[in-house]
Amino acid sequence: MEVSHLKYFKITKSWAVKAESETEAIKLVAADPAKYLDSETVTRTEYKSREPKTGWGTAIKDQVLGTNSRK
């Protein structure tokens, strides 16, 4: 059974800028994001996913446990 490793990255950035309005602040940050970057975090999570099982044994177990998606 083959196991693949999937990596998920959550990237969160926040900017701090002085401006007269939210619209002006957005324009300033859009024009030069690096200048106003306040913080940046990256969270990595790794998942192991297995190939889906197939066969009579799995079909019977799914029916007994009610995990079969077919109705």
pLDDT tens by residue, 12-65:
999 999 999 999 999 999 999 999 999 999 999 887 766 555 566 666 666 666
pTM attached to this predicted model: 0.51
- Please check whether residue 71 lies inside any domain of the structure: no
Enumerate the H helices of the chain as residue ranges.
22-31, 33-36, 56-65
Judged against a pLDDT cut of 50, whether residue 5 lies above it is answered with yes
Read off the tokens for 63: 């029916």
Q: Is residue 35 part of a domain?
A: yes
Domain that holds residue 24: 3-65
Does a structural domain hold residue 70? Answer: no
Give one word for 66, left, alpha or beta, with left for phi > 0 and alpha for psi -120 to 50: left
Rounded to whole angstroms, how far apart are CA atoms 20 and 41? Answer: 28
Q: What is the pLDDT of residue 13?
A: 96
Three-state DSSP class for residue 7 = strand
Number of structural domains found in the chain: 1
Tell me the C-alpha distance between 57 and 70, whole Å: 16
Residue 49 lies in a domain: yes
